[in-house]
Structure 1
Amino acid sequence: MTSTTVAIPSTATRASTKQLATRSTADDLKALPGVLKSEWIKISSLRANKAILGLTAVVGGFVAWAVATLVTDEVQTISEVFIFSTVLTAVFASVAGVLLFSSEAQHGTLATALTAQSARWVIVAAKTTMAIAFGLVLGAAGMVASFGGALLGGLELGSTSMMVTTTLWGLLFTALSAVLGLGIGMIVRHSSGAISTLLVWGLVVENLLTLFLSERISRFLPFVAGNNLLGIEGEGAFAESAATALTRAQDALVFGGYTAVALAVGTILLYRRDTN
Structure 2
Amino acid sequence: MSMPNIPNLTPIIDIDREDAFNMLLASIAMEEMGLAHIINAEGEKLQYLFKSEAHKPFSIADIKDVNYGVEKVIRETMKLQMLLQEKLDTVITHIPNVCSTPYSPCPPPKPKCIPECILTGYGEGYISDEANAFKCGTATIESSLCNLYENCTTFSIKYTLFKETEGSIRSAILLSLPQSIEVHCNGNAKSCQPVQDANTIVVQGQGVMAIKNSEQRLTQCAVSFTLTVWDYGCNKKFQMIICSLNSEFNNDSGIVTLTAGNLEIENCAKTNRSPENLSAY
Sort the TM-score into its range (normalised by shorter chain): under 0.3
Normalised by the length of structure 1, the TM-score is 0.27
Q: Quick check: which has more Rg, 1 or 2?
A: 1
Higher relative contact order (CA 8 A, sep 6+): 1
Judging by fraction of residues, say which structure has more strand. Answer: 2
